[in-house]
Amino acid sequence: MSDQNHNKLNHLLESLSDTTLVSSRWLRADGYAGNLVARYMAGSWLQSPARGVYLRKGGRLTWEGLLRSLQLLEQIPVYVGGRFALARQGHEHYLRLGEPATVTLYSPAKLPAWALKLPLREHIKHCGKSPFDWPLLNFGADQPDAALAAQGLERAAPDTAAAGVVFALPERAILELCDEAPDKALVHELDALLQGLATLRPQLLSTLLLRCRSIKAKRLFLALAERQGHAWFAHLDLNGVNLGHGKRALIKDGKLNAKYQITLPADLDEQLGQP
């Protein structure tokens, strides 16, 4: 190997942490031709956990490393939201014992094929575009935290395994979960989750509700949240929030919530032991 190629290899290896994933696209853009990468593979300096993506030899494949690669290197506006974002903050009612976790990702952009083929312990679920109408942010390290927070997002602290990864805050994540295809089990889960969400911020929630495009998600959230009696509910500002018109038959054979014109499971109170 020439001195030039040896220096390129050293530079690459020094830039890769134990969990950093780099794609063929990123390597080409950084000056590493395909034949050079093939030599690195043959020399056992790199390994390929899926076609089109590489790790340092001996590196560890993690969902956090995947997200850092997608957000920072591939510059895809994808973040962790919904149920997995809530679970990460300790808000998970139904423990799925024995089941691998599902990392719920939101992005209007298509993810690279390799991102969904990695042999991770966790499942990766691409939920598509979020239900909010904000313009897309990039999640590079130069994106101010205040800009993320204004949209209900945050970057994981540097002293955690997910350092630098962008997640939905609970206020955003619960609305995303309300936007999923509803069934009785999900509504019961949402109701139980909302019981534990006593410290949500009404100002942020009000902004999120105003920018949320999903009538179903807003009505379901408000109908379930009002039942819990948390102090923050009384401080929501719903001026300008579009709740649509007419009834929404969310649950077949459900009970109509007259205020929010949405059907909920008839046994919702019974399941929670309420009169």
pLDDT 10s digits, 145-204? 999 999 999 999 999 999 999 999 999 999 999 999 778 889 999 999 999 999 999 999
Q: In the predicted model, what is the mean pLDDT of the chain?
A: 90
Please give the structure tokens belonging to residue 173. 């994540």
pLDDT in tens, 204-243: 999 999 999 999 999 999 999 999 999 999 999 999 999 9
Computed from CA positions of residues 186, 187, 193, 199, in that sequence, does the dihedral angle turn out positive or negative? positive
**HEC string of 38-58?**
HHHHHCCCEEEEECCEEEECC
Name beta bridge partners: 256. 263
Query: What pLDDT does residue 254 have?
Result: 86
pTM of the model: 0.91
- Give the integer Cα–Cα distance in Å for 221 and 228: 11
| Overall average pLDDT of the 40-63 stretch | 94
3-state secondary structure of 121: coil
Q: Residue 97 pLDDT > 80, yes or no?
A: no
Query: What pLDDT does residue 274 have?
Result: 45
- Give the integer Cα–Cα distance in Å for 275 and 259: 19
- Give the integer Cα–Cα distance in Å for 54 and 57: 9
- Give the integer Cα–Cα distance in Å for 194 and 188: 10
Please name the residue that has the structure tokens 């973040």: 79
Instruction: Compare 52 and 3 and report the one with higher pLDDT.
Output: 52
Count CB neighbours of 268 within 10 A: 20
Query: What pLDDT does residue 3 have?
Result: 52
Supply the DSSP string of 58-113, one letter for each residue: T----HHHHHHIIIIIS----EE-HHHHHHHTT--SS--TTSPPEEEEE-SSPPPG
- φ/ψ of 78, rounded to 5, equals -120, 140
Please name the residue that has the structure tokens 């459900």: 254
Q: Which amino acid is at 201?
A: R
- Give the integer Cα–Cα distance in Å for 157 and 159: 6
Q: Which amino acid is at 257?
A: N
